[in-house]
Amino acid sequence: MQDLLFDFLSKYITLSEDEKKALIDLNIFHSFKKGTVLLKEGQRSKNGYFVLQGCIRTFYNVEGEEKTTAFYTEMEGITPLCVLSKEPSEYYISCVEDCILIVSDPDMELEIFQSFPKFETLCRVLSEELLAKHQVDFDAFKVSSPEQRYLNLLENRPDLLQRVPQYQLASFLGIKPQSLSRLRARIHKSNKV
């Protein structure tokens, strides 16, 4: 599991054996069972999550109905707004599958930044890159029809279609579950012709 992480990080920085050991010594690798709720609406938390294996999702309770807004899979992570704002969370985070996650908090981050400033550079670069990608994802959502959104998903994150229940995918795509079923039927039928 460590090797997966170090492979990913090697795209951004070169780590010495000491630095790798410092990361491992933080005891940041944790296992969670499918269905585990990591964060609840109204809860305060200091924890950020980075997925080494598995899939987590964010969702809202809107008038009793679950609305899934995002999925995070291998080598993706989230620091919930409530960690930074120190306010209660507006949303839930739960495990869609059995997961191995890195769990971090701001105090631990400060500590490691002080010993290894390189990690701060890494976090800056990762955040800037994620922010820019996120903006483009949001843009794509705005300028696309539901059908285009589904086709984008097929192209860019086909694994999600296998890993995630239909009703969660539907609200992630901003459509009703029935509309998603019709859309899928239409697209897969026309692909067969």
Report which of 172, 169, 163, 168 is spatially closest to residue 141, judged by C-alpha positions.
172
* 116 is an interface residue for a copy of itself by CB under 8 A: no
- Rounded to a whole number of angstroms, the minimum distance from the CB of residue 27 to a copy of itself is 22
Beta bridge partners of 50: 77, 102
The CA–CA distances, whole Å, from 147 to 84, 151, 154, 180 equal 35, 6, 11, 9
Residue span binding a copy of itself (CB under 8 A) among the ranges 94-102, 131-139, 159-167, 176-184: 131-139
* 123 is an interface residue for a copy of itself by CB under 8 A: yes
Cβ atoms < 10 Å from Cβ of 77: 16
Q: Which of 17, 27, 143, 188 binds a copy of itself (CB under 8 A)?
A: 143
Binding string to a copy of itself for residues 60 to 99, with x set by CB under 8 A, is what?
A: x-x----x-xx-------xxxx-xxx----xx--------
Interatomic CA distance for residues 26 and 191, integer angstroms = 49
Strands (E), the chain: 29-32, 37-39, 48-53, 56-62, 65-72, 77-78, 92-95, 99-104
* 134 is an interface residue for a copy of itself by CB under 8 A: yes
Tokens of 73: 């899979």
Cβ atoms < 10 Å from Cβ of 38: 21
* 111 is an interface residue for a copy of itself by CB under 8 A: no
- Rounded to a whole number of angstroms, the minimum distance from the CB of residue 121 to a copy of itself is 6
Nearer to a copy of itself, 48 or 54 (CB): 48
Q: Which of 8, 12, 141, 167 binds a copy of itself (CB under 8 A)?
A: 141
* 168 is an interface residue for a copy of itself by CB under 8 A: no
Q: Which of 42, 117, 158, 165 binds a copy of itself (CB under 8 A)?
A: 117
Q: Is the dihedral of CA 155, 179, 94, 54 positive or negative?
A: negative
What is the SS3 string spanning 82-111?
Answer: HHHHCCCCCCEEEECCCEEEEEECHHHHHH
Q: Which of 53, 74, 97, 174 binds a copy of itself (CB under 8 A)?
A: 174
* Contacts with a copy of itself, residue ranges (CB under 8 A): 58, 60, 62, 67, 69-70, 78-81, 83-85, 90-91, 113, 117, 120-121, 123-124, 127-139, 141-143, 171-172, 174
